[in-house]
Structure 1
Amino acid sequence: MKKLALVLALSAAAMTAQAKDSKTITASFPSNSLAELEVDIAVGKIDLQTYNGSTIEVEILVEPKESDSWFGKPDVSEATLNSNTSGDKLSLEINSDDYELSWQVKVPVNLALDVEVGVGKIDIQDLNNSADLEVGVGKIKIETTATDFKKVSLDSGVGKTAISGFGNVETSEKSMVGSTTDYRGQGQYSIDAEVGVGNIRLRRD
Structure 2
Amino acid sequence: MSKSHYSYPPDEFDVRGPEGTPVGVHREPRSGWSSVWPFLLIVVVCGGLAVGIVSFLSDDGDPATPPAAEQSAGAGTEEPEASASADAEEPPADGEASEAPADDEPSDDASDAATELPGDASAANLEASVVVYNDGAGSGQAAAGQGVLTSDGGFVDVAATDAPDTLQGAYEETTVLYGADRADTASAVAEALGVDPANVQESDDVTASEQAVWVVLKTPVG
Please tell me the TM-score bracket, short chain as reference: under 0.3
State TM-score, norm by structure 2: 0.22
Choose 1 or 2 for highest CA Rg. Answer: 2
State TM-score, norm by structure 1: 0.23
Which has the larger share of strand? Answer: 1
Which has the larger share of helix? Answer: 2
